[in-house]
Structure 1
Amino acid sequence: MALDNTSKWVEGIHRAATVLEVTLAAALIAAVIMNVINIVARYVFGQSLTGVDEWQIYLLVAMAFAGSVVAAVRGQHLRMDVLTRYFPRTAQRIVGAVEAVGAVLLCGFVCAVSTHYATRMHAIGSVSENGYIPMWLPHSIVALAFAAMTLVGLADLVLRLMGSRLVTRPPAVEAAAPVPEAAS
Protein backbone atom coordinates (compact mmCIF):
# COMPACT_ATOMS: atom_id res chain seq x y z
CA MET A 1 0.00 0.00 0.00
CA ALA A 2 2.76 2.47 0.97
CA LEU A 3 4.64 1.63 -2.23
CA ASP A 4 1.54 2.40 -4.31
CA ASN A 5 1.24 5.80 -2.64
CA THR A 6 4.95 6.40 -3.19
CA SER A 7 4.74 5.60 -6.89
CA LYS A 8 1.73 7.94 -7.23
CA TRP A 9 3.69 10.63 -5.40
CA VAL A 10 6.66 10.17 -7.76
CA GLU A 11 4.35 10.22 -10.79
CA GLY A 12 2.85 13.48 -9.52
CA ILE A 13 6.29 15.06 -9.21
CA HIS A 14 7.15 13.97 -12.74
CA ARG A 15 3.82 15.31 -14.07
CA ALA A 16 4.53 18.66 -12.40
CA ALA A 17 7.98 18.67 -14.07
CA THR A 18 6.33 18.02 -17.43
CA VAL A 19 3.90 20.92 -16.89
CA LEU A 20 6.85 23.16 -15.98
CA GLU A 21 8.74 21.96 -19.07
CA VAL A 22 5.79 22.81 -21.35
CA THR A 23 5.49 26.21 -19.65
CA LEU A 24 9.19 26.81 -20.28
CA ALA A 25 8.72 25.93 -23.95
CA ALA A 26 5.88 28.46 -24.16
CA ALA A 27 8.08 31.06 -22.43
CA LEU A 28 10.84 30.42 -24.97
CA ILE A 29 8.36 30.95 -27.80
CA ALA A 30 7.20 34.18 -26.10
CA ALA A 31 10.81 35.37 -25.86
CA VAL A 32 11.36 34.70 -29.56
CA ILE A 33 8.12 36.52 -30.45
CA MET A 34 9.15 39.50 -28.31
CA ASN A 35 12.50 39.54 -30.11
CA VAL A 36 10.89 39.42 -33.56
CA ILE A 37 8.44 42.20 -32.66
CA ASN A 38 11.28 44.36 -31.35
CA ILE A 39 13.37 43.72 -34.47
CA VAL A 40 10.47 44.68 -36.74
CA ALA A 41 9.75 47.77 -34.63
CA ARG A 42 13.41 48.81 -34.72
CA TYR A 43 14.26 48.17 -38.38
CA VAL A 44 10.90 48.73 -40.09
CA PHE A 45 9.49 51.55 -37.97
CA GLY A 46 12.75 52.96 -36.60
CA GLN A 47 11.47 52.72 -33.02
CA SER A 48 12.64 50.22 -30.43
CA LEU A 49 10.18 49.04 -27.79
CA THR A 50 11.40 50.26 -24.42
CA GLY A 51 12.03 47.55 -21.86
CA VAL A 52 11.47 44.56 -24.16
CA ASP A 53 15.15 43.61 -23.97
CA GLU A 54 14.99 43.60 -20.17
CA TRP A 55 11.84 41.47 -20.16
CA GLN A 56 13.54 39.05 -22.52
CA ILE A 57 16.68 38.79 -20.42
CA TYR A 58 14.76 38.22 -17.19
CA LEU A 59 12.52 35.69 -18.92
CA LEU A 60 15.53 33.74 -20.19
CA VAL A 61 17.18 33.82 -16.76
CA ALA A 62 13.92 32.61 -15.18
CA MET A 63 13.78 29.82 -17.76
CA ALA A 64 17.29 28.71 -16.85
CA PHE A 65 16.51 28.53 -13.14
CA ALA A 66 13.13 26.86 -13.67
CA GLY A 67 14.74 24.44 -16.10
CA SER A 68 17.15 23.40 -13.37
CA VAL A 69 14.14 22.18 -11.39
CA VAL A 70 13.06 19.98 -14.31
CA ALA A 71 16.63 18.68 -14.62
CA ALA A 72 16.69 17.89 -10.89
CA VAL A 73 13.43 15.94 -11.09
CA ARG A 74 14.58 13.99 -14.14
CA GLY A 75 18.13 13.41 -12.89
CA GLN A 76 19.53 15.23 -15.92
CA HIS A 77 21.73 17.65 -14.00
CA LEU A 78 25.48 17.64 -14.51
CA ARG A 79 27.15 15.04 -12.38
CA MET A 80 30.84 14.35 -12.12
CA ASP A 81 30.86 10.58 -11.75
CA VAL A 82 33.97 9.71 -13.72
CA LEU A 83 35.40 7.84 -10.73
CA THR A 84 32.35 6.91 -8.70
CA ARG A 85 30.75 4.89 -11.50
CA TYR A 86 33.57 2.37 -10.99
CA PHE A 87 33.04 2.15 -7.22
CA PRO A 88 31.35 -0.88 -5.69
CA ARG A 89 27.55 -0.55 -5.47
CA THR A 90 27.58 0.15 -1.72
CA ALA A 91 30.17 2.92 -2.10
CA GLN A 92 28.12 4.42 -4.96
CA ARG A 93 25.05 4.51 -2.72
CA ILE A 94 26.97 6.17 0.11
CA VAL A 95 28.48 8.79 -2.20
CA GLY A 96 25.05 9.35 -3.77
CA ALA A 97 23.47 9.88 -0.34
CA VAL A 98 26.20 12.34 0.66
CA GLU A 99 25.72 14.19 -2.65
CA ALA A 100 21.95 14.31 -2.08
CA VAL A 101 22.33 15.70 1.45
CA GLY A 102 24.90 18.23 0.24
CA ALA A 103 22.62 19.32 -2.62
CA VAL A 104 19.67 19.80 -0.25
CA LEU A 105 21.79 21.85 2.15
CA LEU A 106 23.30 23.98 -0.62
CA CYS A 107 19.97 24.56 -2.40
CA GLY A 108 18.33 25.43 0.93
CA PHE A 109 21.10 27.90 1.69
CA VAL A 110 20.83 29.59 -1.74
CA CYS A 111 17.04 29.69 -1.33
CA ALA A 112 17.37 31.44 2.04
CA VAL A 113 19.93 33.98 0.78
CA SER A 114 18.00 34.77 -2.41
CA THR A 115 14.72 35.05 -0.49
CA HIS A 116 16.34 37.57 1.81
CA TYR A 117 17.72 39.50 -1.18
CA ALA A 118 14.38 39.50 -3.05
CA THR A 119 12.64 40.70 0.12
CA ARG A 120 15.11 43.58 0.40
CA MET A 121 14.58 44.48 -3.28
CA HIS A 122 10.84 44.60 -2.59
CA ALA A 123 11.30 46.69 0.55
CA ILE A 124 13.35 49.38 -1.20
CA GLY A 125 11.10 49.38 -4.28
CA SER A 126 13.92 48.81 -6.76
CA VAL A 127 12.88 48.69 -10.44
CA SER A 128 14.83 48.06 -13.64
CA GLU A 129 16.08 51.02 -15.61
CA ASN A 130 14.11 50.74 -18.86
CA GLY A 131 11.29 48.26 -18.32
CA TYR A 132 10.45 49.41 -14.80
CA ILE A 133 10.29 45.77 -13.75
CA PRO A 134 10.15 45.42 -9.96
CA MET A 135 13.52 43.83 -9.23
CA TRP A 136 12.13 41.56 -6.56
CA LEU A 137 10.38 39.58 -9.33
CA PRO A 138 13.45 38.25 -11.16
CA HIS A 139 15.25 37.74 -7.85
CA SER A 140 12.27 35.78 -6.53
CA ILE A 141 12.64 33.32 -9.40
CA VAL A 142 16.03 32.31 -8.02
CA ALA A 143 14.52 31.74 -4.58
CA LEU A 144 11.56 29.78 -5.98
CA ALA A 145 13.75 27.58 -8.17
CA PHE A 146 16.10 26.75 -5.32
CA ALA A 147 13.15 26.13 -2.99
CA ALA A 148 11.75 23.69 -5.55
CA MET A 149 15.15 21.99 -5.95
CA THR A 150 15.39 21.73 -2.15
CA LEU A 151 11.98 20.04 -2.05
CA VAL A 152 12.92 17.71 -4.92
CA GLY A 153 16.12 16.83 -3.07
CA LEU A 154 14.22 16.19 0.15
CA ALA A 155 11.75 13.98 -1.74
CA ASP A 156 14.67 12.03 -3.20
CA LEU A 157 16.21 11.62 0.27
CA VAL A 158 12.93 10.32 1.70
CA LEU A 159 12.57 7.92 -1.20
CA ARG A 160 16.17 6.72 -0.70
CA LEU A 161 15.35 5.95 2.93
CA MET A 162 12.34 3.96 1.72
CA GLY A 163 14.53 1.99 -0.69
CA SER A 164 13.32 3.78 -3.82
CA ARG A 165 14.46 6.73 -5.91
CA LEU A 166 12.87 9.73 -7.57
CA VAL A 167 14.87 8.98 -10.72
CA THR A 168 16.37 5.73 -11.82
CA ARG A 169 19.60 6.58 -13.59
CA PRO A 170 20.44 4.58 -16.70
CA PRO A 171 23.69 2.61 -16.56
CA ALA A 172 26.78 4.63 -17.46
CA VAL A 173 28.04 4.37 -21.00
CA GLU A 174 31.46 2.76 -20.86
CA ALA A 175 32.89 3.83 -24.20
CA ALA A 176 31.69 4.85 -27.60
CA ALA A 177 31.42 2.13 -30.21
CA PRO A 178 34.33 2.09 -32.63
CA VAL A 179 33.71 3.80 -35.95
CA PRO A 180 33.89 1.31 -38.83
CA GLU A 181 36.56 2.04 -41.37
CA ALA A 182 35.46 3.06 -44.85
CA ALA A 183 36.07 0.58 -47.64
CA SER A 184 38.90 1.58 -49.93
Structure 2
Amino acid sequence: MAGTDRATLTETDPITAPSRLAGSAMNVLHFLLGLTLLFVVGVNFLNAASRYLFGISPVGADELMVYVVNWAVMIASILSLFLRSHINVNLLPLYSRGRFHHLLRVVHDLAAVFTCGYATYASWLFIGRISALGVKSMGLGVPMTIPHAALLVGFGGLTLAGAIMLVRDLAALVRNEPRKEVQP
Protein backbone atom coordinates (compact mmCIF):
# COMPACT_ATOMS: atom_id res chain seq x y z
CA MET A 1 0.00 0.00 0.00
CA ALA A 2 3.07 2.20 -0.04
CA GLY A 3 2.58 5.26 -2.17
CA THR A 4 -1.04 4.34 -2.91
CA ASP A 5 -3.89 6.62 -1.99
CA ARG A 6 -6.70 4.85 -0.14
CA ALA A 7 -9.28 6.35 -2.50
CA THR A 8 -7.66 4.67 -5.52
CA LEU A 9 -7.91 1.14 -4.11
CA THR A 10 -10.65 -0.98 -5.59
CA GLU A 11 -12.83 -3.74 -4.16
CA THR A 12 -10.78 -6.38 -5.98
CA ASP A 13 -7.41 -5.13 -4.74
CA PRO A 14 -5.91 -8.00 -2.68
CA ILE A 15 -4.42 -5.58 -0.17
CA THR A 16 -7.73 -4.03 0.85
CA ALA A 17 -9.54 -7.21 1.97
CA PRO A 18 -7.07 -8.11 4.76
CA SER A 19 -6.80 -4.44 5.70
CA ARG A 20 -10.56 -4.11 5.99
CA LEU A 21 -10.82 -7.37 7.90
CA ALA A 22 -8.11 -6.27 10.32
CA GLY A 23 -9.74 -2.86 10.68
CA SER A 24 -13.11 -4.45 11.40
CA ALA A 25 -11.56 -6.81 13.94
CA MET A 26 -9.85 -3.89 15.68
CA ASN A 27 -13.10 -1.92 15.76
CA VAL A 28 -14.89 -4.89 17.32
CA LEU A 29 -12.07 -5.25 19.85
CA HIS A 30 -12.25 -1.54 20.74
CA PHE A 31 -16.01 -1.90 21.22
CA LEU A 32 -15.64 -5.00 23.42
CA LEU A 33 -12.95 -3.33 25.51
CA GLY A 34 -15.24 -0.35 25.98
CA LEU A 35 -18.06 -2.65 27.11
CA THR A 36 -15.63 -4.33 29.50
CA LEU A 37 -14.76 -1.01 31.11
CA LEU A 38 -18.45 -0.13 31.37
CA PHE A 39 -18.98 -3.48 33.13
CA VAL A 40 -16.24 -2.58 35.62
CA VAL A 41 -17.84 0.83 36.23
CA GLY A 42 -21.18 -0.92 36.83
CA VAL A 43 -19.64 -3.35 39.32
CA ASN A 44 -17.93 -0.45 41.08
CA PHE A 45 -21.21 1.49 41.24
CA LEU A 46 -23.12 -1.50 42.63
CA ASN A 47 -20.32 -2.17 45.11
CA ALA A 48 -20.34 1.43 46.38
CA ALA A 49 -24.14 1.72 46.40
CA SER A 50 -24.64 -1.53 48.31
CA ARG A 51 -21.88 -0.64 50.74
CA TYR A 52 -23.13 2.88 51.57
CA LEU A 53 -26.89 2.43 51.17
CA PHE A 54 -27.37 -1.03 52.66
CA GLY A 55 -24.18 -1.65 54.62
CA ILE A 56 -23.51 -4.76 52.54
CA SER A 57 -20.14 -5.28 50.96
CA PRO A 58 -20.30 -7.75 48.07
CA VAL A 59 -17.59 -10.36 48.49
CA GLY A 60 -15.08 -10.35 45.67
CA ALA A 61 -16.33 -7.22 43.86
CA ASP A 62 -12.96 -5.48 44.19
CA GLU A 63 -11.15 -8.62 43.08
CA LEU A 64 -13.42 -9.00 40.06
CA MET A 65 -12.80 -5.40 38.98
CA VAL A 66 -9.03 -5.78 39.28
CA TYR A 67 -8.98 -9.04 37.35
CA VAL A 68 -11.20 -7.75 34.55
CA VAL A 69 -9.19 -4.53 34.24
CA ASN A 70 -5.92 -6.52 34.14
CA TRP A 71 -7.25 -8.62 31.26
CA ALA A 72 -8.57 -5.54 29.44
CA VAL A 73 -5.28 -3.67 29.81
CA MET A 74 -3.21 -6.57 28.54
CA ILE A 75 -5.45 -7.13 25.52
CA ALA A 76 -5.59 -3.40 24.78
CA SER A 77 -1.79 -3.18 25.01
CA ILE A 78 -1.49 -5.65 22.13
CA LEU A 79 -3.81 -3.52 20.03
CA SER A 80 -1.97 -0.36 21.05
CA LEU A 81 1.43 -1.77 20.07
CA PHE A 82 0.17 -3.06 16.76
CA LEU A 83 -1.42 0.31 15.91
CA ARG A 84 1.63 2.19 17.26
CA SER A 85 -0.73 4.24 19.40
CA HIS A 86 1.11 3.61 22.67
CA ILE A 87 2.79 6.35 24.63
CA ASN A 88 6.30 6.86 23.32
CA VAL A 89 8.95 9.45 22.71
CA ASN A 90 8.84 9.84 18.96
CA LEU A 91 10.73 13.07 18.27
CA LEU A 92 13.47 11.37 16.27
CA PRO A 93 11.18 8.99 14.31
CA LEU A 94 8.75 11.85 13.66
CA TYR A 95 11.33 13.80 11.66
CA SER A 96 13.23 10.89 10.15
CA ARG A 97 12.85 9.88 6.52
CA GLY A 98 13.66 6.95 4.26
CA ARG A 99 15.71 4.02 5.43
CA PHE A 100 16.62 5.68 8.73
CA HIS A 101 12.92 5.89 9.65
CA HIS A 102 12.46 2.19 8.90
CA LEU A 103 15.64 1.35 10.79
CA LEU A 104 14.30 3.13 13.88
CA ARG A 105 11.09 1.10 13.62
CA VAL A 106 13.09 -2.12 13.31
CA VAL A 107 15.04 -1.24 16.47
CA HIS A 108 11.74 -0.51 18.26
CA ASP A 109 10.28 -3.82 17.07
CA LEU A 110 13.37 -5.75 18.19
CA ALA A 111 13.17 -4.16 21.63
CA ALA A 112 9.47 -5.08 21.87
CA VAL A 113 10.07 -8.68 20.78
CA PHE A 114 12.96 -9.28 23.19
CA THR A 115 11.50 -7.56 26.26
CA CYS A 116 7.99 -8.95 25.79
CA GLY A 117 9.39 -12.38 24.94
CA TYR A 118 11.31 -12.40 28.21
CA ALA A 119 8.23 -11.23 30.13
CA THR A 120 6.21 -14.01 28.46
CA TYR A 121 8.77 -16.59 29.59
CA ALA A 122 8.80 -15.18 33.15
CA SER A 123 4.99 -15.19 33.25
CA TRP A 124 4.95 -18.81 32.08
CA LEU A 125 7.33 -19.80 34.88
CA PHE A 126 5.31 -17.90 37.49
CA ILE A 127 2.01 -19.45 36.41
CA GLY A 128 3.63 -22.87 36.62
CA ARG A 129 4.67 -22.15 40.21
CA ILE A 130 1.32 -20.86 41.43
CA SER A 131 -0.49 -23.62 39.58
CA ALA A 132 1.56 -26.24 41.40
CA LEU A 133 0.70 -24.57 44.71
CA GLY A 134 -3.03 -24.42 43.89
CA VAL A 135 -3.35 -20.81 45.07
CA LYS A 136 -6.86 -19.31 44.97
CA SER A 137 -8.06 -15.74 45.41
CA MET A 138 -9.40 -14.76 48.81
CA GLY A 139 -12.76 -13.27 47.79
CA LEU A 140 -13.95 -15.18 44.76
CA GLY A 141 -11.95 -18.37 45.20
CA VAL A 142 -10.69 -18.12 41.62
CA PRO A 143 -7.51 -20.05 40.84
CA MET A 144 -4.79 -17.39 40.64
CA THR A 145 -3.61 -18.86 37.37
CA ILE A 146 -6.59 -17.16 35.69
CA PRO A 147 -5.78 -13.53 36.60
CA HIS A 148 -2.06 -14.12 36.13
CA ALA A 149 -2.72 -15.67 32.73
CA ALA A 150 -3.64 -12.14 31.60
CA LEU A 151 0.07 -11.29 31.76
CA LEU A 152 1.03 -14.44 29.89
CA VAL A 153 -1.55 -13.82 27.15
CA GLY A 154 -0.77 -10.11 27.01
CA PHE A 155 3.00 -10.44 26.80
CA GLY A 156 2.68 -13.38 24.41
CA GLY A 157 0.42 -11.27 22.20
CA LEU A 158 2.80 -8.32 22.43
CA THR A 159 5.68 -10.59 21.40
CA LEU A 160 3.68 -11.87 18.43
CA ALA A 161 2.58 -8.35 17.44
CA GLY A 162 6.18 -7.15 17.71
CA ALA A 163 7.36 -10.03 15.53
CA ILE A 164 4.74 -9.26 12.87
CA MET A 165 5.72 -5.60 12.94
CA LEU A 166 9.40 -6.55 12.75
CA VAL A 167 8.84 -8.57 9.58
CA ARG A 168 6.74 -5.77 8.08
CA ASP A 169 9.29 -3.08 8.98
CA LEU A 170 12.27 -5.15 7.79
CA ALA A 171 10.50 -5.58 4.43
CA ALA A 172 9.87 -1.82 4.29
CA LEU A 173 13.54 -1.18 5.13
CA VAL A 174 14.74 -3.50 2.38
CA ARG A 175 12.31 -2.04 -0.18
CA ASN A 176 13.00 1.50 1.10
CA GLU A 177 9.28 2.30 1.02
CA PRO A 178 8.28 5.93 1.38
CA ARG A 179 7.10 6.80 4.85
CA LYS A 180 3.34 6.51 5.36
CA GLU A 181 1.74 9.47 7.06
CA VAL A 182 -0.34 8.77 10.13
CA GLN A 183 -4.07 9.11 9.50
CA PRO A 184 -5.90 11.02 12.28
Contact 2:80/2:86 (<8 A) preserved: yes
Match of 1:80 in 2: 89
Alignment partner of 1:146 is 2:155: yes
What is the root-mean-square deviation in Å for CA atoms of aligned residues?
A: 2.4
Q: 1:72 to 1:121 in 2, by over 3 A?
A: same
Deviation at 1:169, TM superposition (A): 5.1
For residues 100-111 of structure 1, the aligned pairs below 5 Å read 100-111=109-120
- Unaligned regions of 5+ residues in structure 2, if any? 1-12
Contact 2:106/2:170 (<8 A) preserved: no
Cα distance in 1 between the residues matched to 2:40 and 2:158: 24
Q: 1:11 to 1:156 in 2, by over 3 A?
A: farther
Letter of the structure 1 residue corresponding to residue 129 of structure 2? R
For residues 3-82 of structure 1, the aligned pairs below 5 Å read 7-82=16-91
**Identity over the aligned pairs, expressed in percent?**
26
Find runs of 4+ consecutive structure 1 residues off by over 6 angstroms. Answer: none
Cα distance in 1 between the residues matched to 2:83 and 2:56: 43
Q: Which moved more, 1:33-42 or 1:155-164?
A: 155-164
Deviation at 1:119, TM superposition (A): 2.5
**Larger relative contact order (Cα-Cα within 8 Å, sequence gap ≥ 6):** 2
Contact 1:65/1:142 (<8 A) preserved: yes
Q: Which moved more, 1:141-150 or 1:81-90?
A: 81-90
Q: 1:101 to 1:16 in 2, by over 3 A?
A: same
Contact 1:31/1:56 (<8 A) preserved: yes
Letter of the structure 1 residue corresponding to residue 108 of structure 2? E
Equivalent position to 2:138, from 129, 134, 140: 129
Letter of the structure 1 residue corresponding to residue 31 of structure 2? V
Letter of the structure 2 residue corresponding to residue 67 of structure 1? A
Cα distance in 2 between the residues matched to 1:161 and 1:139: 33
Cα distance in 1 between the residues matched to 2:147 and 2:15: 34
Match of 2:126 in 1: 117
Q: Deviations over 1:58-92 (max 9, x none)?
A: 21222222111121122101221223433443222
Cα distance in 2 between the residues matched to 1:101 and 1:73: 14
Cα distance in 2 between the residues matched to 1:87 and 1:107: 26
Alignment partner of 1:170 is 2:182: yes
Match of 1:93 in 2: 102
Contact 2:102/2:169 (<8 A) preserved: no
- Unaligned regions of 5+ residues in structure 1, if any? 172-184
Letter of the structure 2 residue corresponding to residue 128 of structure 1? S
